[in-house]
Chain A
Amino acid sequence: MTRRTLAVVSAGLGQPSSTRLLADQLAAATRDELARRGDTVDIRPVELREHAHDIVNHLLTGFPSPGLREVLDTATGADGLITVTPIFNASYNGLFKSFFDLVDAGALVDRPVLVGATGGTARHSLALEHAVRPMFAYLRAVVVPTTVFAAPEDWSAGTADGALRARITRAGAELAEQVHRRAPSTGPADPFALTTSFEDLLGGLGH
């Protein structure tokens, strides 16, 4: 039995937030599938709203507050990452992008990611494919094939059921599959680690 961590990053702005609701359902579906495969799962929710000021401060000063450091480490050090953003003006919201702008370029390489989004109309749904997926592709994360978009009509019964439920279950299974086949994460990368010696550095110049 392997212990796995799932970081669940939600960029919802309202409270309560339908974005967070979708994030929680994606996390539960992933957890259930991992449990079925014999893994134990530690879910770590992150509400970016709570760190909005620290995110802007980091953009300006170049370093995170201790609280934001912990959140960044959670997001980049987990075995699997679930992210859900509201769609604003046909793309992720600014809070979501600002947060991931603070993630080092190599921090999510080969990390399984499940992306979801919420929006006021189903016409926003492809934003997951043309905006969110390419951003994670740039970071060389492994985004599972199924993305999950929830519009107001999906919540009409007050719970996710029908087509949305099926999609959540499928996406969660895909993320669980990617997490399960990998060795457990060794945690976030150390930016201060020396990865070469001086002889190699100077030798690379032909001296």
Chain B
Amino acid sequence: MQFGVFTVGDVTVDPTTGREPTEHERIKAMVAIALKAEEVGLDVFATGEHHNPPFVPSSPTTMLGYIAARTQRLLLSTSTTLITTNDPVKIAEDYAMLQHLADGRVDLMMGRGNTGPVYPWFGHDIRTGIPLTLENYDLLRRLWREDVVDWQGKFRTPLQSFTSTPRPLDGVPPFVWHGSIRSPEIAEQAAYYGDGFFANHIFWPKEHTQRMVGLYRQRYAHYGHGSADQAIVGLGGQVFMRRNSQDAVREFRPYFDNAPVYGHGPSLEEFSAQTPLTVGSPQQVIDRTLSFRDYVGDYQRQLFLMDHAGLPLKTVLEQLDLLGEEVVPVLRKEFDSLRPAHVPEAPTHASLRAAAEQAAGPDDLAGAEAGR
């Protein structure tokens, strides 16, 4: 099972000091968090993509390329890549390039983006969000899988004899997750292609996640990719820890009360009861996280949101120490012992390459090697 962190990349005032980090500080903090994630033994770092203040990560592959050069093992991902407003041609090129630079340590999570005004800045319209998602992603898949593409659709200019370069590393496109909160169409899309499905999970009741993952698993089996329990599922999580749970609650409360998404609404206690938010001791985080399996089944990736709402970098790095040293080793062991043998791990470049080689057979492989 993979564990990691995902970040929104928000620039938010620290409500306890009134200080707002500069964009430069926030960008450097995101890098420091990624490096720390590798240092404490996490597997994945994923960055959001946004094109409006107060968010900084408008150029994910620039950031991930920089992190790739400074890490050895960490898998670099997105949360999410905007499949609606980005040109699928540019996504195909950028992430294939990143894949080469990072020696395959790359996957992506597709998302639509829910901010209406952003769409027209990129020549689109939020009302066509779902059709854009479907068309763009279908084209993206072809660009990574077919050397020469002739294509015509509704939302971009046609392509004639187009080759997206560089070609994916080893001829193996990056693995793709589809992120969604409550659009059954996206669970259906992920299931259709046999891709991964990532449930945001963190800002909504678990029943949402349970329904969406259940639908994805059922449709994954329907489309013949394997049994329902073999579908590739990822979940978000949101935690704040101190050794003493009362200290965690006391320290996190002002950040919670003023947080951009849910601040000034429900109490920390109500929100903790109604969503997966866990504020307490490392053991409480372990227990809560293990309970996710009860309603989504055995799953492959758990990402935690650790750095939002104005939490200072120093605090976030302390949180990552606790996560990497006390929480994830226990979760890894527990989840692994519970997972049946026929349930796969999340695909990686190595596993996808091995599968492609096996499917091609020894003769074809020789040709592929020669052609590379």
Q: Which residues of A contact B (CB under 8 A)?
A: 56-57, 60-63, 65-66, 191-198, 201-202, 204-207
Contact = CB atoms under 8 A, between A and B. Distances in A.
A57 B191 CA distance: 33
B343 to A, nearest CB: 24
Contacts of A193: 184
Contacts of B205: 63, 66
B358 to A, nearest CB: 27
Contact of B265 (A60, A201, A205): A60
Contact of B187 (A61, A194, A195): A194
A207 B153 contact: yes
Given A60-B265, A194-B215, A207-B153, A202 B138 contact: yes
Contacts of B134: 201-202, 205
Contact of A192 (B135, B215, B274): B215
Interface string B205-240: 100100110010001000100000000000000000
B154 A57 contact: no
A62 B185 CA distance: 19
Nearest to A204: B131
Nearest to A63: B204
A62 B134 CA distance: 25
A61 B266 CA distance: 8
B135 A198 contact: no
Contacts, number: 68
Contacts of A207: 135, 138, 153
Contacts of B184: 192-195
Contacts of A194: 184-185, 187-188, 215, 219
By CB atoms of chain A within 10 A, which of B154, B266, B274 has the most? Answer: B266
**Chain A's interface: helix, strand, loop or mixed, by majority?**
loop
Nearest to A54: B266
29 contacts: A56-B265, A60-B262, A60-B264, A60-B265, A61-B262, A61-B265, A61-B271, A62-B203, A63-B203, A63-B208, A63-B274, A65-B270, A192-B184, A193-B184, A194-B187, A194-B215, A196-B185, A198-B188, A198-B189, A198-B192, A201-B134, A201-B185, A204-B131, A205-B131, A205-B134, A205-B135, A205-B154, A206-B154, A207-B138
Contacts of B191: 198
B334 to A, nearest CB: 28
Interface string B177-188: 000001011011
Contacts of B264: 60
Nearest to A202: B134
Interface in B226-278: 261-262, 264-266, 270-271, 274
A65 B208 CA distance: 13
Nearest to A207: B138
Contacts of B182: 191-192
Contacts of B188: 194, 196-198, 201
Contacts of A204: 131
A38 B219 CA distance: 44
A56 B270 CA distance: 13
B128 to A, nearest CB: 10
B219 to A, nearest CB: 7
Contacts of A196: 185, 188
A192 B212 contact: yes
Contacts of B185: 194, 196, 201
Contacts of A198: 188-189, 191-192, 219, 223
A59 B202 CA distance: 17
Nearest to B271: A61
Contact of A61 (B154, B203, B212, B215): B203
B305 to A, nearest CB: 15
A60 B265 CA distance: 6
A30 B210 CA distance: 39
B154 A192 contact: no
B274 A66 contact: yes
Contact of B153 (A60, A63, A197, A205): A205
Interface in B259-304: 261-262, 264-266, 270-271, 274
Nearest to A60: B265
Contacts of B192: 198
Interface string B152-191: 0110000000000000000000000000001011011101
